[in-house]
Each structure stands twice: as C-alpha cells, then as structure tokens.
Amino acid sequence: MKKIDCKQLKLEELEELKRQIDDKNIGLRIIQVEGDSASDVYVRNKMKAGRDIGLDIKHILLDQTFETEQIINIINVLNDDDSINGIMVQLPLPKHLDEQKIINAIKPEKDVDGLTYENLGRIISKEEGLRPCTAEGVIDILDKSIGLNNLEGKQITIIGRSKLVGLPLYHMLLEYNATPVICHTKTKNLENYTQNADIIVTAAGANKPFINKEMIKEGSIIIDVSTVKGEDGKLHGDVVYDDVVDKAAFVTPVPGGVGQLTVLELMKNTYKAYNLQKQRNHKKEKTYTKRAN
C-alpha cells in the first residue's frame, strides 16, 4: 500500500488541472457570510488555488445582516450568468439563515460543493453529477493508496452521518462493492465497529482525539476528516495520531491531510461543471438545429 502525502497530491493534481484549463474562461464564485474565523482560512485557501490554476474566481463577502432571500437573489443572478460555471456557499452559515434552502437555490449543474438535493440524489441513483468535495477527497486518497478496485469486500467504518461526508461517502463506497457502516453519536460500543474495520473514516469533530490503538485493527487504514481547534489553539482530528501510527498501515495527519484534498476537489468539480455545461449546451444546439431543419 502506498502512503499518500496529501499536500503533494494536491499540488500535483492542481498542476495537471492547470494544464487542462489552459486558457479556458471558467468562472467560480464563492459566497461567504462573515463571522466564522475558520471559514476565512478555508476561503483564502480556495481563492489561492483557484487563482493558481487560472480560474476566474471571485469572493462575495456578505455581512450578517443579509437574510435568506437576499442571498438567494444573489445566487439567482449567478445562476443566470453563463460566464459563471461554479457557485459555492461557504459553510457554516449564521443560525438565522436557512442553509439548505440557500444551497438548493444553486443550479445543480453549478453546485460545485455537490450539496443540493439533486446532486446528493444522483449519488444514490449512481448518476453522473457533482459530488461533495470532502467525500471525493476521501475517495481520492483511497484510490491513490490502495486502488478503488481493492475496496471490494473491505469493511469500512464511517464515523459521522453528515451530508458533507458520511452519507454521500457511504453510497460512493457501495459503488466499489465495499461494505460500509455508519456510526454516530447514538451508536453503542463504537469499538465493535472500529476494531474489525479494514478502513476507518472519521468525521466526528470531537472536542478531543478519541480513537486510540486499542480501537483499531492491525494494518488498518485511518482517514481523519475532522479538523478542530483545541484549547491550546492547535488543530487536531479525531485520532490520537502518535498512539495509532505504528499499528495502522496509514493514517492521514491533521492538519495537512484530507483538508488539502477538499480544496483540490472543489477545483476539479469546477472544471467538471464547466465540461458538463459545455456538453449540455452542445446537445441543445444540435437539437435546435435539427428542429430548424
């Protein structure tokens, strides 16, 4: 099994993406409502990556006085602009806003975060669409480390059932004939599921790291999605890294792990959205031409 340097993987794939984009005019807009300091960091990272690969990328920063319908109005303008290929809303949003209503206002073909109901439904029905970036990042790590064909029959424990990671990832893993199970805050005896798992993907966002070597199988793969700022101001995940690193075959670090690929997948989704829109418009033109004849 190949151990993956997530930062290096991101840089290599962004460079390849830059070559593919070349001089194409691809537009991405990131909408953020101010007030979350962690979001400021994430947006800066996305803006840098977008500029580095040649996207027409702009940051729309809104103050906390904006209401749900006002943000939807902004999204509708972007939906109708053919020069904009991707739209994302940085989460989390302030509590007074209807997060899912805002997300669902984005046209599915421009939903580069993959979080509209239509795109999430496409995962379950195994149809082509835009998929959640963090879940795609996990798939990318598994692909580069053990190969997706080798997921067949693997027991995979997912900790966390969010729409960003756990739920879409569950269905994505089924496509490769893996045997995933989702655990959550109401799961009893969590170690029963982690000790027998070939792969653990944890996105619990725990206040303190809790997955130790007693909870894992020898030679397992552990992908730690969580990024939490501790009382000491340092970032940590759900895994006690130093405790499990010698027992596991591979553990993603925090920071410097899955978060690196979340940015990458957003860029890849934006390019994918551009190509899907181009194909759709080409089909419309052909249909129109046939009717005109």
CB 88, CB 31: distance < 8 Å: yes
Using alpha carbons only, what angle is made at residue 159 by residues 251 and 148, rounded to the nearest 5 degrees? 55
- Euclidean distance between CA atoms 155 and 241, whole angstroms: 21
Residues whose CB falls within 8 Å of the CB of residue 204, separated by 6 or more in sequence, listed in order? 159, 160, 210, 226, 238
In SS3 terms, 66-116 reads as CCHHHHHHHHHHHHCCCCCCEEEECCCCCCCCCHHHHHHCCCHHHECCCCC
Residues designated as active site = 46, 90, 113
CA distances, 128 to each of 131, 143, 153, 238, 243 (Å): 9, 19, 24, 32, 40
Distances (CA, A) of 88 to 2, 146, 223, 270: 33, 31, 25, 10
Q: Across the beta sheet with 179-183, what order do the strands follow?
A: 179-183, 155-159, 199-202, 221-224, 250-251
| Furthest-apart CA atoms within the chain: distance in Å | 71
Provide the residue type at 33 as one letter. V
